[in-house]
Structure 1
């Protein structure tokens, strides 16, 4: 894959090619990390002919530096922290809990906004592929993996177009497999490596999910 990546759809198509061994398998489930991971995962799910759902994760932004993740939380109560950042910035537990409580409310709001009354997918015994549009510190993805492990999947695969090499190494400690297409350095930010990297709205996420979920429904009726 050439850098910069054209857009999230192009990234998803490239990831699907790299994940070809998982195509047309009954045990595979694709989980997207919204918002940015949804258009990437839609391409992967369609190419692999696998069902798509969501893994909701919220970054715990460092006070005063919201883009710097001191940790993350995920559906199911999993929490993963970046101890190096917490220690270096002397962030106390009360501050961490306050940020986590705020992000938990947002996580629950998104759960309702994106999924509505759609039942949660079965995780146990399945090969779950977690997809995002890129990873920086890895806190959100590691929280997603931790949350999944509580539900007894047969295998957890992390699939992203780009991430720093050191972050890939950290994710490999928790996932069974990490598929990362590019590890550019210095990394700086995910958006730097995309030619087109717009912010997505809740409405755009719902629209993309509805399109794919409608196709899945048609295929089973």
Structure 2
């Protein structure tokens, strides 16, 4: 599906104003094929999903490196007591993001996105919180356009992503969706060393 996604983004091939950006960690493996096919520079953006102790432990929100929080509808409907627990979750997540970004980049600066078209890639979209948090973070860096791209996504996330992205490219909208890993024959999450090598 990664190669198919690269082909789907063929319209951007050869453009000097394109940057392919992976959401760490899920989008890292998918972004490599896209960047190679399009001949575009690649970079990463770190997002952390936060899980609150409620019910089955589904992702309830996501936070980006700038500290912008994206909440899902269920969390917004929770009690004030549940929402107050977010403070400690956010603080821990931001510390973790800072450490992880330092390790992944190994002093390599982030690519300047001002005036560029950013192809923001993840390996799948379930709730949309991670992608939306990434898009919120990117808006502060002045890109001309943000294109969200993924091989597979839940239909429930479509409207929310389309509301914040300039375009959305997805190969499949299966129902029921389940877990992202169900749609891959080999679903692996890269470690820090692999991410660092990708950026070298």
Is the 2:75–2:83 Cα contact (8 Å) retained in structure 1?
A: no
Is the 2:113–2:141 Cα contact (8 Å) retained in structure 1?
A: yes
Where 1:56 maps in the other structure, the secondary structure is: strand
Q: For residues 65 and 74 of structure 1, do their structure 2 counterparts lie closer, same or farther at Cα, with a shift above 3 Å needed? A: farther
- Where does the alignment leave 5 or more consecutive residues of structure 2 unmatched? none
- Report the equivalent of 1:160: 150
Work out whether 1:19 is the aligned partner of 2:29. Answer: no
1:197 to 160, 184, 187: 187
Q: Tell me, in whole angstroms, the C-alpha distance in 1 between the residues paired with 2:185 and 2:81.
A: 35
After the TM superposition, which residues 74-153 of structure 1 pair with which residues of structure 2 at under 5 Å, given as runs? Answer: 74-88=64-78, 92-153=82-143
- Report the equivalent of 1:39: 29
- Where does the alignment leave 5 or more consecutive residues of structure 1 unmatched? 1-10, 214-221
Count of aligned pairs between the two proteins: 200
Where 1:158 maps in the other structure, the secondary structure is: strand
Deviation per CA, 1:161-213, whole angstroms, max 9, x where unpaired?
11111202210000000001001011111011111112332223223x14xx3
Q: Give TM-score, length-normalised by structure 2.
A: 0.93
Q: Give TM-score, length-normalised by structure 1.
A: 0.85
1:185 to 175, 182, 194: 175
Is the 2:106–2:196 Cα contact (8 Å) retained in structure 1?
A: no
- After the TM superposition, list the runs of 4 or more consecutive aligned residues in structure 1 that deviate by more than 4 angstroms: 64-67, 88-91
Q: Tell me, in whole angstroms, the C-alpha distance in 1 between the residues paired with 2:61 and 2:81.
A: 11
Moved more, 24-33 or 191-200: 191-200
